[in-house]
Structure 1
Amino acid sequence: MSLPDWQQIDTVLLDMDGTLLDLHFDNYFWLEHLPARYAEHHGLSEEEALSELNKSFVGLRGTLNWYCLDFWTDLTGLPVAELKRDVQHKIGFRPHVHDFLARLRELGKRTVIVTNAHRDSVQLKMERTGLDKLVDRVISSHDYREPKESAGFWDHLHRDEAFDPARTLLIDDSQAVLESAARWGIGWLLTIFHPDSQKTPQRGGQFPGIDHFDELEW
């Protein structure tokens, strides 16, 4: 599989966090901000708090609860959606996103954000960035009650959007999601090697990828 041949693509499905938006916000929130607030709330050290939260992470990755702010609110006893607003200044675009989305619009491609983010997170990020105005539609996996790692998500999406899988491109920083989409039959797949601006790019894997959108050829 090669980089996109735009003449063969009608629909572009776009992940949000780590693809269009810098994953640094999410990594900072879940690995630093939330553990610190959890420690304060429960009278623990930050190391103890992170250890307790890590125990809860086991077995959840790739499930809808992993991405559900209501679940984490119940588990931690903290207003997780509200806590995200404390550090919303860290929400930002990855490089060259505006130019990339503008070019897709010029080419007449349908652009749909497909994210595992909870709707409260989606709303906050749209308020902060205006990203929803740059694409045709925004879909959260919570709308379908299936994570993108599940074939059921793609079944729901196909009924909802009626795209041609063979002429559809998915761009996502998650290998598990790309593998799920590949098994389901999405024809074009592209990964992001540098989802978090504060971390070293992670290249490799079975899918072609880029660090930033300015590397794409048109």
Structure 2
Amino acid sequence: MTATKSPRVRGPYAKSAQRSKEIIQAATTVFATNGYHGGSLRDIARQLDLSLTSIVHHFGSKFALLEAVLERADETVGTGFADFDFDADCTERGVALATMSRVRSNLERPELLRLLAILAAESSAPDHPAHEWFIGRYRSHVESLAAAFTYDQSKGRIDRARDPQLLSRLLIGTWDGIQLQWLIDPSADMESAMQAFFMWCIPEAMTAES
């Protein structure tokens, strides 16, 4: 029996998709180095030896490109990364152990962490183009982590007396802060610092069985 091959994307669409990926990658480097305001579409075009018109053709505007860059970065280092299902790991092993796996994985992605750190700081200004995006990002992350902590409580992994919303905000604040220290000084041990946080805040979660 002859195996049926999956159809492959060919022609102009495949080339356009590949070009979009290349533009997003170049924009990631530019924004991670210079921030949103400091990086220009011309800088991105120059990296790829493209015309400014070509960049605009694919994304329409600098803001549209920023959104694409942020979504890719958040999917890669956040809860939706293709080869690591953070939500599933939280369900199986609990938030603390899943987070430690995420921390170790993110050590290999400094550019994306730097991008999010720089743009998050910039977007604290209400008129920044990414201000609303980061508001939504933090609200969504707090809610999803609170739900995961609540599930941990239902499984006996975490004391029911603890406030899941507060735990979520403390975890995000600690995680972001420790990542920033590591980005500034790579000799800082991000993994041991995060482990110490969990041992101090919710030690029962580090040894809980599924």
Q: TM-score, normalised by structure 1?
A: 0.24
The structure with the largest strand share of the pair is 1
Q: Which has the higher contact order (CA 8 A, sep 6+)?
A: 1
The structure with the largest helix share of the pair is 2
Q: TM-score, normalised by structure 2?
A: 0.24
